[in-house]
Structure 1
Amino acid sequence: MSRPDDRATTPTRRRPIPRAVAESYLSHGPSLVMLLVAGAVAFLVGVQFYVDTMPAVSTLLWPLYADSPTAIALATLSLATLLPTLNQPLASTPTNRPLAYLHTLAYVWLIKYGLWVVVALNRRVGLYIGFDADALYAYWGIIGTHLLFVALAFAILHYGRTTRGALGLSLGLLLANDIVDYGFGFYPPLRYEPGVVVPTLTVALSVGVVALAAWQFDRLGDVRTD
């Protein structure tokens, strides 16, 4: 016979991060503040990286050019909405339409660019992999930190909701981002030319992460399923 808390502690396909794990990090002041500080620092580090690699990009295009910093900024804003309900279950977090848009955008940006880095670096893995100081950062460190994007996105599922409008906007913005990246050459810095394969996989990720969000998120107005 299943124990009453099995659903809270067992990963599922719709909730890969168990609710109890998400609660332990997101419902308590010290851990939530630590995540917010880490997000702010990671955002600044990411922006500095993009400034060093292509400083001539128009300011208006920065949210679409600086993909990972944008994902971190959206995620940090999403986490900040939990501050008013500290020490309460995530299920009690207020939900409304603007928040649904924010949480959905944070989720899709985190998943897409968490996975994009894995795809892009392993497309020409010989240019990145190794065990010297450079490779420890440029391959293992970058992939490891970006996979944390995915874990954070899955945690958002425990307090966020989505709507058809939020999903549609997310898809439109992700595809616009792809056009800016590969139509105008503002893709994230790589050690090789992306050719056709990387842009194709990137567009597939845009569609795939929105489809995943539509399946994993509860809808605004529905009873929570976790």
Structure 2
Amino acid sequence: MGISFFWSRAFLLDRRFLWLLFMVNLIGTIYGYIWYGHQLQVTAATKPGWMLPFVPDSPTASLFFTLALLYLLFPPGRLSKLASASRLVIEALAVVCSVKYGVWAVVMIFAGQAQGDVLNWQHYMLVASHLGMAAEALLYVRFMKARLGALAVATSWLFLNDTVDYTYGVYPYLPNELEDDIVTVKWFTIGLSAASFLCGAMALSFRKRS
């Protein structure tokens, strides 16, 4: 059994592995919302309520992927047009959000370290989990129904999220060392939204060829 087996259809769609992946993502999503708890409280106390959904970026990304896994675990039969469109958008959000925030978190952690932040075991746990987010999204996109149009809709959400984050200051907490680089972080984040769309589009292209 070669290493390629571990990204084969037989392995990735094995129900035992899908359930394991579902539980890992569900637990990670819950942990992520807890991790954002303080920022959510501060935002609720100082900002309009409509900004709250824009605060917890990574756990919302893993929530979308967790929902996408349910479609693989329980393949739906004939769906209405609305339900079918909802599935396409959820899967597209699972892909672009997971790629974006998986990469974003890792870059911010090491950018902070480069400017003097001291990393601990939690940082490395976050690095591993966020790289896993990006990797699983790109591995599973070939089993999803999402198309280019749905990816474009999902990427519009990313750009809206970026606009709210850096206009109203509800972006995720950064290492203290990066607070004076917020303009650079902003443009990197916006560029990463576009790059996530391109990664998703390339993955869809690969799906068609295979």
Residue of structure 1 equivalent to 2:109: 121
Q: Say whether 1:57 aligns with 2:43.
A: yes
- TM-score (normalised: structure 2): 0.81
Deviation at 1:147, TM superposition (A): 0.3
Q: Distance in 1 between matches of 2:58 and 2:202?
A: 24
Residue of structure 2 equivalent to 1:136: 121
Q: Over residues 13-54 of structure 1, what are the superposed CA-to-partner deviations in whole Å (9 max), with x where a residue is unaligned?
A: xxxx83x1x5413x2222211211111111111111111234
Structure 2 unpaired stretches of 5+: 76-83
Query: What SS class does the counterpart of residue 124 from structure 1 fall into?
Result: helix
Deviation at 1:218, TM superposition (A): 4.6
Q: Distance in 2 between matches of 1:179 and 1:23?
A: 41
Q: CA 1:101 to 1:23, structure 2 compared with 1: closer, same or farther past 3 Å?
A: farther
Query: What SS class does the counterpart of residue 182 from structure 2 fall into?
Result: coil
For residue 200 of structure 2, what is the amino acid of its counterpart? Answer: A
Residue of structure 1 equivalent to 2:204: 217
Contact 2:89 2:150 in 1 (8 A): yes
Q: Residues 185-196 of structure 1: matches in 2 within 5 Å?
A: 185-192=169-176, 193=179, 194-196=181-183
User: 163, 168, 174: which is aligned to 1:184?
Assistant: 168
User: 21, 24, 33: which is aligned to 1:38?
Assistant: 24
Q: Over residues 130-156 of structure 1, what are the superposed CA-to-partner deviations in whole Å (9 max), with x where a residue is unaligned?
A: 4xxxx111x211111100011111122
Deviation at 1:110, TM superposition (A): 0.3
For residue 44 of structure 1, what is the amino acid of its counterpart? Answer: I
Deviation at 1:191, TM superposition (A): 2.2
Cα RMSD after superposing both structures: 2.5
Q: Over residues 150-169 of structure 1, what are the superposed CA-to-partner deviations in whole Å (9 max), with x where a residue is unaligned?
A: 11111222202433431221
Deviation at 1:124, TM superposition (A): 2.0
Residue of structure 2 equivalent to 1:74: 64
User: 77, 92, 96: which is aligned to 1:104?
Assistant: 92
For residue 111 of structure 1, what is the amino acid of its counterpart? Answer: V
Contact 1:129 1:140 in 2 (8 A): no
For residue 91 of structure 2, what is the amino acid of its counterpart? Answer: H
Structure 1 unpaired stretches of 5+: 1-5, 11-16, 86-95
For residue 99 of structure 1, what is the amino acid of its counterpart? Answer: R
For these two proteins, the number of residue pairs brought into alignment is 193
Identity %: 25
Q: Distance in 1 between matches of 2:70 and 2:117?
A: 35
Q: Distance in 1 between matches of 2:146 and 2:17?
A: 25
Residue of structure 2 equivalent to 1:92: none
Deviation at 1:97, TM superposition (A): 4.1
Residue of structure 2 equivalent to 1:199: 186
Q: Distance in 1 between matches of 2:145 and 2:202?
A: 11
For residue 84 of structure 1, what is the amino acid of its counterpart? Answer: F
- TM-score (normalised: structure 1): 0.76
Q: CA 1:34 to 1:60, structure 2 compared with 1: closer, same or farther past 3 Å?
A: farther
Q: Distance in 1 between matches of 2:22 and 2:199?
A: 25
Q: CA 1:9 to 1:225, structure 2 compared with 1: closer, same or farther past 3 Å?
A: farther
Contact 2:61 2:97 in 1 (8 A): yes
For residue 42 of structure 1, what is the amino acid of its counterpart? Answer: G
Moved more, 164-173 or 40-49: 164-173
